[in-house]
Amino acid sequence: MRCLITGGAGFIGSHLAEALLQRGDTVTVIDNLSTGRVENIAHLKEMKDFTYYIDTIMNKTLMIELVEKCDVIYHLAAAVGVRYVIDHPLETILTNVGGTEMVLSLAHEYGNKKVLIASTSEIYGKDRPGKSVFNENDDRVLGPTSISRWSYSCTKALDEFLALAYFKEKKLPVTIIRFFNTCGPRQTGRYGMVVPRFVRQALANEPITIYGDGKQTRCFTDVSDAVKAVMLLADVQRLYGEAYNIGNPANKVTINALAKRIKELTGSRSPIHHIPYDKAYEKGFEDMRHREPDITKLKRSTKFKPEIEIDELLSRIVMDFKHKPKFT
């Protein structure tokens, strides 16, 4: 299979590229390195079935060439991370919406190529009374447009609407994948991702900084499990025109407990500090207290079962950071 991965030098994209190559596929990556890193794919450069381009997906001439040559497109290119979204609101909107429209239109025009669109658990929006587990058909509840955090949710929702419209009107074989708190080796905490940020702080014996009271819960998914789910969805043709949650409900933990576990695993002397949201991000910042994926649909459709438990996941990330200079 000839695979094109947009955002392929990013955290999830680089792991996906590695897995596809391991099973014998040909992989082409395009990434503008806004949040991706060349280091993530350095070990793949010498493989004969791997090609990469440092460029934007808005380069239509190049994208036409790449789309024409592929069989399936994994569209992972996007502005990601709470910190990045808040600091770059305009780029977030233009990249996420314009880039997705570019990919979908070219996929249709040049052979109606199979497309998997990466979306996010941010789709579901704000807390609501008595609701912590989310399935693909749940309503969305968002905050005001003055809170830039919600622009990311809206752009990804528009990506999904575009994908489903192309499926309905153009018969484009497209599948939507909603990632829930995916983490693992190669992820950076630079853009607000909590696990690598905690690990870096712990290894440096710096204060581990929790935003808010730390009682919020998340379900963390190892990137190897997430990639396995993505590949299963790509291989089943009857799943087109649908959205699927990808996550691991078994790895549910409070952020306070997460910080304490990382401190234990690293043997760190770091104190644990709490920082109000408005000091960490922006005035009026809103967060979901609880976010847990219902993966019934994914399991029923693909027989997927997440395998990596939270301690193994965290240990893998700690080992990865220990091999990096200065815990960057």
Among all residues, which ones are annotated catalytic?
152
Would you say 78 and 45 are in contact if contact means Cβ atoms under 8 Å apart?
no
Q: How many CB atoms lie within 10 A of CB 60?
A: 12
Q: How many CB atoms lie within 10 A of CB 274?
A: 15
- Using CA atoms, how far apart are residues 243 and 159, in angstroms rounded to an integer? 12
Instruction: Name, in order, each residue with C-beta under 8 angstroms of 239's C-beta and a sequence gap of 6 or more.
Output: 175, 233, 301, 302
According to DSSP, the β-strands at 182-183 and 290-293 are unpaired
Question: 3-state class of 90 per DSSP?
Answer: helix
- Using CA atoms, how far apart are residues 109 and 260, in angstroms rounded to an integer? 51
Only one residue has tokens 């078994």, namely 250
Only one residue has tokens 């905490």, namely 189
- Using CA atoms, how far apart are residues 212 and 237, in angstroms rounded to an integer? 43
- Using CA atoms, how far apart are residues 292 and 279, in angstroms rounded to an integer? 26
In terms of Cα–Cα distance, which of 47, 174, 181, 194 is closest to 105?
A: 174
